[in-house]
Structure 1
């Protein structure tokens, strides 16, 4: 009951500087990804991995600068819930890709008969 009487102090909100840094970093990371696509200086596969890396960094910037997630004791449950959500999404994506790969591999018309001819 004592927790109900505690006043909200707003400690978890970020400062204007934090929001400004997050905004600038987000713009720079987005412009870098856009530039990699518009000016093809890297091979296609390297461009794909570079954009994926920039996206991962941008997610981290958003979590820290805008959602104020950190390792403090007040944020422990938020970080735990976020980690569970990331794990769940990763399992769903990996499982979906695995299922689609197996369906593609096993449902291609004529693949089984051509494989049997190759073994003979």
Structure 2
């Protein structure tokens, strides 16, 4: 009857896996909403310099990523989450390389096509 020990697992993974409470989901939702409203306001107001608006959008987007990772995907520094955090960091590095490489190629093509 070894199966009875895991009868209440319901497919949620290892025992050390953390799941959010209603309070943490509400905090995450409110932070995500605020981090969506701020750049929306900056664009709709239109009185800010373009560079400042761009910085607000980028900073809010980066913060929003962390809010989602922490409050909704439950990534943290615990040993159970170490592989997930490593995979997320690797994904960020690969996406950064792809975006930087694409921008570099597009810039070089633009420079060479204009002459």
What band does the TM-score fall into relative to the shorter chain? 0.7 to 0.9
Match of 2:82 in 1: 76
Distance apart, 1:6 and its partner CA: 7.0
Aligned position for 1:18: 24
Report whether the alignment pairs 1:36 with 2:42: yes
Gaps of 5+ in 2: 10-14
Q: Describe the superposition over 1:77-115 as per-residue Cα deviations: whole angstroms up to 9, x where unpaired.
A: 00000011111000001011111111111122xx2xxxx
1:66, CA displacement in angstroms?
0.2
* 1:60 is the counterpart of 2:79: no
For the pair shown, the structure with the greater C-alpha radius of gyration is 1
CA RMSD of aligned residues (A): 2.0
Matched residue, 1:114: none
Alignment pair present for 1:89 and 2:95: yes
CA distance in 1, matches of 2:65, 2:50: 23
Match of 2:12 in 1: none
Residue 11 of structure 1 deviates from its aligned partner by 4.0
Count of residues in Structure 1 that have an aligned counterpart in Structure 2 = 106
TM-score (norm 1): 0.80
What's the counterpart of residue 50 of structure 1?
56
Contact in 1 for aligned 2:19/2:74 (Cα 8 Å): yes
Question: Please, which moves more after superposition, 38-47 or 81-90?
Answer: 38-47
